[in-house]
Amino acid sequence: MKLSLPERLPHSLLRFSSFILPLSSPESASATAREVTDDMPELIRSFASRLRELVGNRRRAPRYRVRLEVELALNISQAGGKSHSTTAQLKLAGYTRDISESGLAVIVPAIRIGGQYFTDSNHKLLVTLRLPDDIVIELHAKPVRYVPLEDDATETGYLIGLAILEMSANDRRRFKDYIETLNAER
């Protein structure tokens, strides 16, 4: 749901939900309306994140806090001349904060490369995960949420929650085996 504010607002104030922002001119009202509209998705995400903390954990699969190297790849189709199209692959490197049988929480330095957002819920990402003993598995996942990490925190960048969609049977077995070793260490 996209909220939009009128292009022209009364110059005396801009009222948005429970926030009242004093304005000095009609021009600043118009500029502020655009800024508030641009910041809305971040405000909603922040609110949802805080609500999730208060309501409780609805996760079905237990999470294991572990730091593993991860690479996210996004395939982008590009139109070429003479009706040929090519596929470019954009990549982000990061690490996991935690993992479960059904998802990953990864930390990356950015959420977009060029004009492409890795956090678009319509994207299917190829995730390369490096387990201990140099075991590399690949899986497909979709972003389900993201939040910017606070500047004063020990970690910087963005936390992206990924839901696992699919992986090969061999990679699934190795992934489950690794999770079982984490469970045994608890």
Domain assignment present for 2: no
The pLDDT, as a whole number, for residue 63 is 93
Domain assignment present for 98: yes
- 102 pLDDT tier (thresholds 50, 70, 90): very high
Q: Convert the pLDDT of each residue in 25-66 to its tens digit.
A: 445 444 444 444 555 677 776 776 666 665 555 557 899 999
Domain assignment present for 4: no
Claim to verify: residue 84 and residue 128 sit in the same structural domain: yes
Claim to verify: residue 94 and residue 144 sit in the same structural domain: yes
Claim to verify: residue 44 and residue 104 sit in the same structural domain: no
Higher pLDDT residue, 67 or 56? 67
Claim to verify: residue 76 and residue 28 sit in the same structural domain: no
Domain assignment present for 18: yes
Number of structural domains in the chain: 2
- Predicted confidence (pLDDT) at residue 12 exceeds the cutoff of 60: no
Domain assignment present for 159: yes
The mean-pLDDT minimum among 64-68, 83-87, 151-155, 172-176 falls in 83-87
The pLDDT, as a whole number, for residue 78 is 63
Chain-centroid distance of CA 60 in Å reads 20
Domain assignment present for 82: yes
The pLDDT, as a whole number, for residue 32 is 43
Claim to verify: residue 29 and residue 102 sit in the same structural domain: no
Neighbouring residues of 60: CB distance < 8 A, sequence distance ≥ 6: 102
pTM confidence score:
0.66
Chain-centroid distance of CA 67 in Å reads 17
Claim to verify: residue 69 and residue 156 sit in the same structural domain: yes
Claim to verify: residue 78 and residue 161 sit in the same structural domain: yes
The rounded distance, in Å, linking the Cα atoms of 141 and 104 is: 9
Claim to verify: residue 48 and residue 72 sit in the same structural domain: no
- 80 pLDDT tier (thresholds 50, 70, 90): low
The rounded distance, in Å, linking the Cα atoms of 106 and 97 is: 6
Claim to verify: residue 109 and residue 42 sit in the same structural domain: no
Claim to verify: residue 86 and residue 105 sit in the same structural domain: yes
Higher pLDDT residue, 83 or 8? 83
The pLDDT, as a whole number, for residue 44 is 75
User: Element (H or E) spanning 16, and its range?
Assistant: strand 13-16
Claim to verify: residue 51 and residue 74 sit in the same structural domain: no
> What's 76's domain CATH number?
2.40.10.220
Domain assignment present for 17: yes
Q: Convert the pLDDT of each residue in 105-140 to its tens digit.
A: 999 999 998 889 999 989 999 999 999 999 999 999
Domain assignment present for 170: yes
Claim to verify: residue 74 and residue 95 sit in the same structural domain: yes
Is residue 105 within 8 Å of residue 164, measured between CB atoms?
A: no
Q: Domain range for residue 100?
A: 64-185
